[in-house]
Chain A
Amino acid sequence: AQTVTQSQPEMSVQEAETVTLSCTYDTSESDYYLFWYKQPPSRQMILVIRQEAYKQQNATENRFSVNFQKAAKSFSLKISDSQLGDAAMYFCAYRSARETSGSRLTFGEGTQLTVNP
């Protein structure tokens, strides 16, 4: 079974600075998807970024980018120019590309990010 590990329960960053959140996963599959979701105090899960394992290029979305290291099974999220609105719980998630998996996501335990003014 796949597992996702986020080793940093809490992180903090100064406004306008850069922060990196770590995520590692364990799988025997070669084709899969990885995601970062953000959960602000409203508790709605918001998709931040998506990476397909067969693509070597790291995904980027504005101030958010990932460092995807397939061999190391590592998927870190970098937030540049941090803003107060980035404060939230961040979840890393894995999804197999196999149709028989039902597209189910496996989540890590989350990293609580605090942004200091």
Chain B
Amino acid sequence: DGGITQSPKYLFRKEGQNVTLSCEQNLNHDAMYWYRQDPGQGLRLIYYSQIVNDFQKGDIAEGYSVSREKKESFPLTVTSAQKNPTAFYLCASSPRTGPFTRGTQYFGPGTRLTVL
């Protein structure tokens, strides 16, 4: 089936550790995105990538890093520099062409990160 997968579903991190969240898509979408959602709030953009080997910072990139070595993969690393990483993380992808889908973002199921 075509779609976006994120793993793990739940992740626990100790203070001072780096952790990596996985995001994979088989939709052949060019663009991919990472969002953070805190309880009772909307989504905030962390990083996005429009093409392989290129990515840009979003609104809250500090303490996070990404890579885009393959079109289908866009992993997010939460570093120890991120002071308050406990949140729900959503990955999305978007096609660049298509009359009915261009620019529309489709989301994965999310990863819940908790710092112990």
Spell out A's residues near B (CB within 8 Å).
33, 35, 37, 42-47, 50, 91, 95, 97, 102-105, 107-110
- Which chain B residues border A42 with CB–CB below 8 Å? 109
B48 on the A face (CB < 8 A):
yes
Contact call B109/A44, Cβ cutoff below 8 A:
yes
Taken residue by residue from 73 to 105, chain B's Cβ proximity to chain A (1 for < 8 Å, 0 otherwise) reads as 000000000000000101010101000100111
Name the one of B58, B100, B107, B110 contacting A104, with C-beta atoms under 8 angstroms. Answer: B58
Within the complex, the shortest CB–CB distance from A107 to chain B, in Å, comes to 4
- A-B Cβ contacts below 8 A, count: 55
Contact call B105/A105, Cβ cutoff below 8 A:
yes
- Which chain B residues border A35 with CB–CB below 8 Å? 104-105
Contact call A44/B48, Cβ cutoff below 8 A:
no
Name the one of B58, B100, B103 contacting A95, with C-beta atoms under 8 angstroms. Answer: B103
Contact call A109/B110, Cβ cutoff below 8 A:
no
Also in contact, A103 and B103, with CB within 8 A (given A91-B42, A109-B41, A110-B42) = yes
Contact call A33/B109, Cβ cutoff below 8 A:
no
Contact call B94/A44, Cβ cutoff below 8 A:
no
Contact call A47/B94, Cβ cutoff below 8 A:
no
Q: What residue in chain A is nearest B110 (Cβ atoms)?
A: A43
B43 on the A face (CB < 8 A):
yes
Also in contact, A109 and B33, with CB within 8 A (given A44-B109, A102-B50, A104-B58) = no
Within the complex, the shortest CB–CB distance from A4 to chain B, in Å, comes to 8
Q: What residue in chain B is nearest A44 (Cβ atoms)?
A: B109
Contact call B106/A47, Cβ cutoff below 8 A:
yes
